């Protein structure tokens, strides 16, 4: 009997011990051992196949699917119809055994069934529960998912490849197709994406255009710190210019003043999904032969009308970046991506991501170029293994298969997520219009079609109340709020030493709008998980502050 303690074993059931279920002796497959030593979970082999269930939990078994033994005719296992039976129910043990491939298919179908049941029983009720005002918190953002994300996550875990594999390759290909770019590389976070985007531009392979320590990069201080951190960490010099309200994006009128003989690049984020003026910034970069990095971490799905057609943000500049942290437009938990139209930049991004190596073979594959042991590199011996040749001082910033699997499911939902964000933004804009004399409401950049990350509000000068007061009111009503990230990054402790010495950065102008944002701006959520009831409650609480 020990041979039958495995899944995939083919047995016969008696009619006497299972009369309530089967009318005669029928073949069945052991799926797994049950709770008791002599009990087994059994799947009956039905002689009738049902194509309608084959994809989800039906497994077609033909005689050739057996590793040993005999099967009279093909049939279908229904993994949604399982029995728990005692060993005494077996007429004959060891009738046959499914081969490894068919056993794997059977168990994967079973895992899909149980995963879907888990989602339906645990996650779905929590996400669809009625909203209770003043008791349930309204988050500024959150995960929006269904069973598909969990199914792909479990599927990837069963593969147990762990590092980047088939799901990572699929995600990179599909993201590139969605954006309309040549190459997209998956990484472990949006911050890593920004690091790679910048470091790629320091490669010696770029010749005179490479960024060197001491070169300048134009950016803004009203930003998330990891837009600026790679510049500082490398030893380049960030040059900060102000932003404008109500777009909260770079003041393009200051770009020319920020330019110097050491300027090599512009690195800017699309603020909370609202594209900056790409036409002006791109034209400025072209005139002065500057690189443009679009930090697209808060704007995936936003579009900008440029040169006669719509472009997704992140694709107009030389390199774009995305983040897949849970609050963002789609999520993998952690994760990010960096993408480009330029073949050389794409290769450099992958090199810096993958330890700085020169070889472009995917992980687990060898000698794609057919010249692995026949080339000369640096001062290495002739024919040194190309898989271990390093062209850059790089990193290991790859994501995992499990993250990528979730991303594949989320990417398919991205258009619907974008529509929901836009609809929620229009709802809030309409309902809050009568507060415009006290609060600056957000406005999209000209020629832009934003996929909004949040709903920005700035307390007007002389409004009679402070940002802290209205934020405290909303938080007391269980409405989560957020600042516009750093406010003014230069005021933070990470800049203390640089501020004392006056070295390591430049400022153009007085950053008056940036300081205004630091003191008076906050934002609330509009992510796809927001119901109209939640939006209406949020509007009522905002208006209630003034009553």
Provide DSSP, 135-163: TS-B-SS-----HHHHHHHHHHHHHT--S
Distance CA 185, CA 194 (A): 12
Cis-peptide into 351, omega within 30 deg:
no
- For 534, half-sphere exposure in the C-beta direction (CA atoms, 13 angstrom radius) is 23
Closest CA to 221 of 515, 546, 534: 515
pLDDT value of residue 15: 57
Question: What's the DSSP call for residue 335?
Answer: B
User: Within a 10 A sphere around the Cβ of 131, how many other Cβ atoms?
Assistant: 14
Are 126 and 40 within 8 A, CB to CB?
no
Task: List the pLDDT tens digit at each of the 547 positions of the chain.
Answer: 334 457 899 888 875 544 445 445 788 899 998 888 889 999 988 888 878 777 788 899 999 999 999 888 888 998 988 988 888 888 777 789 999 999 999 999 999 999 999 999 999 999 999 999 999 999 999 999 999 999 999 999 999 999 999 999 999 999 999 999 999 999 999 999 999 999 999 999 999 999 999 999 999 999 999 999 999 999 999 999 999 999 999 999 999 999 999 999 999 999 999 999 999 999 999 999 999 999 999 999 999 999 999 999 999 999 999 999 999 999 999 999 999 999 999 999 999 999 999 987 776 677 777 889 989 999 999 999 898 999 999 999 999 999 999 999 999 999 999 999 999 999 999 999 999 999 999 999 999 999 999 999 999 999 999 999 999 999 999 999 999 999 999 999 999 999 888 899 999 999 999 999 999 999 999 999 999 999 999 999 999 999 8
Domains and CATH numbers, the chain: 2-99 (2.30.30.110), 166-364+385-403 (3.40.640.10), 414-544 (3.90.1150.10)
Kindly report the backbone phi and psi dihedral angles of residue 291, in degrees, each rounded to the nearest multiple of 5, phi listed first. -75, 150
Question: Given the structure tokens 């594999």, which residue do they identify?
Answer: 165
Measured in degrees and rounded to the nearest 5, phi and psi for residue 497 equal -65, -40
For residue 4, what pLDDT is reported? 46
Which residues contact residue 196 at a Cβ distance below 8 angstroms, ignoring those fewer than 6 apart?
185, 187, 321, 338, 349, 352, 353, 395, 397
Q: Is the dihedral of CA 13, 18, 21, 23 positive or negative?
A: positive
Task: Measure the CA angle with vertex 216, ends 213 and 218; round to 5°.
Answer: 145
Phi, psi of 247 (to 5 degrees): -90, -25
Which residues are part of the catalytic machinery?
Answer: 328
Question: Which tokens belong to 445?
Answer: 């950049």
With a CB cutoff of 8 Å and minimum separation 6, the contacts of 369 are 360, 361, 386
- Output Rg (C-alpha) for the chain, integer angstroms: 29
What's this model's pTM, rounded to 2 decimal places? 0.93
Distance CA 161, CA 281 (A): 43
């Amino acid at each position: 009997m020990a041979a039958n303690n495995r899944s995939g074993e083919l047995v016969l059931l008696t009619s006497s011990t299972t009369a309530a279920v089967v009318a005669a002796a029928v073949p069945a497959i052991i799926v797994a051992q049950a709770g008791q030593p002599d009990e087994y979970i059994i799947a009956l082999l039905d002689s009738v196949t049902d194509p309608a269930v084959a994809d989800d939990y039906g497994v077609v078994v033909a005689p050739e699917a057996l590793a040993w033994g005999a099967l009279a005719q093909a049939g279908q296992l229904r993994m949604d119809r399982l029995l728990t039976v005692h060993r005494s129910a077996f007429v004959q043990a060891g009738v046959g055994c499914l081969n490894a491939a068919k056993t794997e298919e059977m168990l994967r179908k079973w895992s899909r069934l149980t995963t879907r049941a888990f989602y339906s029983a645990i996650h779905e009720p929590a996400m669809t529960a009625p909203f209770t005002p003043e008791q349930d918190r309204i988050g500024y953002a959150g995960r929006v998912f269904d069973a598909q994300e969990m199914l792909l996550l479990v599927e990837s875990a069963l593969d147990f490849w762990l590092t980047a594999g088939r799901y990572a390759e699929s995600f990179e290909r599909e993201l590139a197709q969605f954006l309309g770019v040549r190459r997209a590389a998956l990484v472990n976070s949006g911050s890593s994406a920004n690091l790679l985007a910048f470091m790629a531009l320091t490669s010696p392979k770029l010749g005179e255009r490479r960024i060197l320590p001491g070169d300048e990069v134009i950016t803004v201080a009203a930003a998330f710190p990891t837009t600026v951190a790679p510049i500082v960490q490398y030893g380049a010099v960030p040059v900060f210019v102000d932003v404008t309200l109500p777009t909260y994006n770079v003041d393009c009128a200051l770009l020319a003043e920020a330019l110097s003989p050491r300027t090599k690049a512009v690195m800017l984020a699309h603020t909370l999904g609202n594209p900056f003026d790409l036409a002006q910034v791109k034209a400025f970069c072209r005139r002065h032969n500057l690189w443009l990095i679009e930090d697209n971490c808060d704007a995936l799905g936003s579009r900008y009308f440029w040169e006669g057609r719509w472009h997704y943000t992140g694709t107009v500049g030389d390199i774009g970046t995305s983040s897949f942290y849970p609050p963002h437009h789609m999520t993998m938990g952690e994760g990010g991506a960096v993408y480009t139209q330029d073949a050389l930049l794409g290769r450099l991004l992958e090199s810096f991501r993958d330890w700085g190596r020169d070889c472009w073979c995917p992980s687990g594959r060898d000698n794609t170029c057919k010249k692995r042991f026949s080339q000369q590199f640096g001062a290495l011996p002739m024919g040194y293994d190309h898989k271990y040749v390093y062209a850059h001082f790089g990193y290991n910033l790859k994501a995992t298969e499990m993250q990528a699997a979730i991303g594949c499911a989320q990417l398919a939902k991205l258009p619907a997520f974008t529509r929901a964000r836009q609809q929620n933004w229009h709802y809030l804009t309409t309902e809050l219009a009568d507060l415009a004399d006290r609060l600056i409401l957000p406005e999209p950049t000209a020629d832009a079609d934003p996929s909004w990350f949040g709903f920005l509000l700035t307390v007007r000068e002389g409004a009679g109340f402070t940002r802290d007061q209205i934020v405290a009111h909303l938080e007391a009503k269980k409405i989560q709020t957020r600042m516009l990230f750093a406010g003014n990054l230069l005021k933070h402790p990470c800049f203390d030493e640089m501020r004392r010495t006056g070295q390591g950065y430049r400022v153009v102008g007085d950053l008056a709008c940036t300081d205004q944002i630091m003191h008076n701006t906050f934002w609330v959520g509009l992510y796809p998980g927001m119901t109209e009831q939640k939006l209406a409650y949020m509007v009522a609480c905002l208006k209630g502050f003034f009553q």
